[in-house]
């Protein structure tokens, strides 16, 4: 960069400039973040403490909770601080770090959901071979692969965005350093960079989504062939929580990125971004705990043991 990265600053426009909304939004986001913190870290602790939950499904779930907590923490505290202090400035290094960690954890979640879909496929379609199919080693390899994919993709996204030339002050029409918003703020021609971002992001999203759809096609085909009502209900309950989490996550992404460009507005994008950066990490532990008998049973045992 011509001016040196130490002189580059980003001005985040935030969600709103209305002073009357700053405190209500701060309180709302604080409550969301507290629920996210308690829900995700509580679920991780519950899985660690209950030996009956030391199975592949809950290993994936504990990692999903960790990732949800981490990528919410990458964005939410800075946004809340902006409401109280009113500081919209962000340094080059801070913006780069936020872009990298958010992209990293979002990509890890993307591939964790795909891995969990495969786990549910093995549990429903091949129950007799489940113990030999989803061994601890296979589960560990899948989880580690998710983190490696997240790191590699986040590196590509961040380097691709920061390879552009930025002015000394750059206005970002967003409440955090989202990669597309930062790229729009650059002073240089970005057509090639946009194509790299779209290509890599599309591959990651659709590759994971296709794996999930294939897994659920086999799952629902297998469920329809079941003659036992108890087996039918058990198979549905096994997949219900994961299918709900997948629908919320990818439904938001499709709404955000696959709507026609003519219908895009910055306000709509910001609202969608609030949903997938703050609300989804809060909802996931609620979805998995409220609709899961094993989690509710483990929680009851922990409560009774502590009395």
Q: What average pLDDT does range 86-90 have in this prediction? A: 81
User: How large a percentage of the chain has pLDDT more than 90?
Assistant: 30
Residue 35 has pLDDT above 90, yes or no: yes
Between CA 255 and CA 134 the distance in angstroms is 33
DSSP string, 70-129: HHHHHHHHHHHHHHHH---EEEHHHHHHHHHHHHHHHHHHHHHHHHHHHHHHHHHH-GGG
pLDDT of residue 103: 93
Q: Which of 183-187, 260-264, 302-306 is the most confident on average? A: 183-187
Higher-confidence residue of 25 and 188: namely 25
Beta bridge partners of 11: 89, 171
Retrieve residue 118's tokens: 């495969």
* pLDDT of 3: 45
- Mean pLDDT for the stretch of residues 131-150: 93
Task: Look up tokens 């794996």; give the residue.
Answer: 211
Mean of pLDDT values over 85-108:
89
pLDDT band at 228 (very low <50, low <70, confident <90, very high): low
Average pLDDT value for residue range 235-260: 72
CA atoms within 13 A on the CB side of 126: 11
Structure tokens at 163: 């390879």
Model pTM score? 0.88
Assess whether pLDDT exceeds 90 at residue 67: yes
The confidence score (pLDDT) of residue 76 equals 92
Q: Is the pLDDT of residue 73 over 90?
A: yes
pLDDT (mean) for 46-64: 88
List of domains in the chain: 5-306 (1.20.1070.10)
Beta strands 169-172 and 9-12: pairing type? Answer: parallel
How far separated are the first and last CA of the chain, in Å rounded? 61
The pLDDT score that the predictor gives to residue 2 is 44
Q: How confident is the model at residue 9 (pLDDT cuts 50, 70, 90)?
A: confident
pLDDT band at 1 (very low <50, low <70, confident <90, very high): very low
Give the span between the Cα atoms of 96 and 41, in whole angstroms. 26
* Residues 42, 50: Cα–Cα separation, whole Å: 12
Q: Using the predicted structure, report yes or no on whether residue 6 has a pLDDT greater than 60.
A: no
């Amino acid at each position: 960069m011509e001016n040196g990265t130490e002189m580059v600053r980003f001005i985040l426009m935030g969600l709103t400039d209305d002073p009357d909304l700053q405190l209500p939004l701060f309180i709302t986001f604080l409550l969301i973040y507290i629920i996210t913190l308690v829900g995700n870290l509580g679920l991780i602790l519950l899985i660690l403490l209950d030996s009956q939950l030391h199975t592949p499904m809950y290993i994936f779930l504990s990692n999903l909770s960790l990732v949800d907590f981490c990528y919410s923490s990458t964005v939410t505290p800075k946004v809340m601080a902006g409401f109280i202090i009113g500081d919209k400035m962000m340094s080059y290094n801070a913006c780069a770090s936020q872009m990298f960690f958010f992209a990293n954890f979002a990509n890890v979640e993307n591939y964790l959901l795909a891995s969990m879909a495969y786990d549910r496929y093995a549990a429903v379609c091949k129950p007799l071979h489940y113990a030999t199919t989803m061994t601890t080693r296979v589960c560990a390899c899948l989880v580690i692969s998710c983190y490696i994919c997240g790191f590699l993709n986040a590196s590509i996204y961040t380097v691709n965005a920061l390879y552009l030339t930025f002015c000394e002050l750059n206005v970002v029409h967003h409440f955090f350093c989202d990669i597309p918003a930062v790229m729009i703020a650059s002073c240089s021609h970005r057509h090639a960079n946009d194509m790299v971002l779209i290509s890599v992001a599309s591959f990651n999203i659709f590759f994971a989504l296709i794996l999930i759809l294939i897994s659920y096609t086999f799952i629902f085909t297998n469920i329809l062939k079941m003659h036992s009502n108890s087996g039918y209900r058990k198979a549905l309950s096994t997949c219900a929580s994961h299918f709900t989490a997948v629908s919320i996550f990818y439904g938001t992404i499709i709404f955000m990125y696959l709507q026609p460009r003519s219908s895009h507005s910055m306000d709509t994008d910001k609202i969608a971004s609030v949903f997938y950066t703050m609300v989804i990490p809060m909802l996931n532990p609620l979805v998995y705990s409220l609709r899961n008998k094993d989690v509710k049973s483990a929680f009851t045992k922990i409560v009774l043991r502590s009395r």
